Chains A and B, each alone.
Chain A
Amino acid sequence: MPFYAKSEDWLHHSQLLLDARPETTTVTTRYHIKPARRRTKAEKAAAADDAEPPTATATPEKPPRGHLVIKTYDPTSGVSLKYKTSKAAEVGRLIQMLGGLGRKMAALPPAEEAAVAEGGEPVTGVVATEGGSGAQTPLPAATGAQGGNAGGGGKGKKKKGKR
């Protein structure tokens, strides 16, 4: 059961799975909250250097962090595809994806075709374009900010070459 690094990859493979087994495939979204992880020694040392609280016995605790895992699962073949994130910025886009998969489940045509078929319903058109642009633009920036020096540099170069 693979975890995909990119939500687009997850969506693509989920669509394929749903195409193959529309009857049994389910999509689950799991939002779970965990207490903040314990700080490592290095981090503690750094914190101590920055500011030494002489009286504060109770160190300021990090707030708990939420995580989101989306999973496409087909019980007949036992395939499960997963994607994991903890970024709030991605929630909207992921729900858009769930919506797209929902359309497939309902045996409806994809959003663009439906808009034409139903006489150009404005809402679907807007939603579709939003999803399209949102799915591509913010990701390189986000990964660039997240990744280390080497990864970030590589991403940046690529972007420059494209534009």
Chain B
Amino acid sequence: MGQLTNDEFFTKLSELFAARKGKSKGEILLLQKRFSHGTDTSPETTDSSLPPQLSQPLPILIRATNGKGKEDRKEKIKLSTLVQPGELDAFYGRYAEVCKTGMGLLKPRDRTRRKAKAKKKKAV
């Protein structure tokens, strides 16, 4: 599958998260790495112990899958997108929103216990 634009990626990622809702198991994997394919970093510079100093920023690659593999290969959904260096901040802003809404099964912040603790402290 080719790369999606950032907008398409977010809509698909939201769908991916939404598909997990109401299920008791499943996973979603997100990955980010430098996109260095096609750039002219010669092999000797990548092999050297010192990281090569780059003259210009590179895009980063974001991938998302629903963690299916092997026998479930048919159900595997793979998404990927490239984020240009200039768009990073905007991208991560939206990324955070999508993840927050998507990861609804994490523990919500427990305010009741903290309140009880504060009361106890006051009493003592």
Contacts and interface: CB of A to CB of B under 8 A. Distances in A.
| Main secondary structure on A side of the interface with B | mixed
Given A33-B24, A106-B85, A28 B103 contact: no
Interface in A48-72: 63-68
B2 interface: no
Interface stretch (A5-13, A14-22, A38-46): A14-22
Interface residues of B, number: 49
Interface stretch (B3-11, B27-35, B70-78): B27-35
Given A107-B57, A123-B89, A88 B30 contact: no
A161 interface: no
Contact of A86 (B24, B88, B107): B107
Interface string A94-138: 011011011101111001000000000101100100000000000
Contact of A22 (B29, B51, B95, B107): B51
Interface of B: 20, 23-34, 36, 41, 46, 51-52, 54, 56-60, 67, 83, 85, 88-90, 92-93, 95-96, 99-100, 102-110, 113-114, 117, 121
- Counting from the closest, the 6 A-B pairs by CB-CB distance are A66-B105, A99-B92, A32-B27, A95-B96, A88-B106, A29-B30
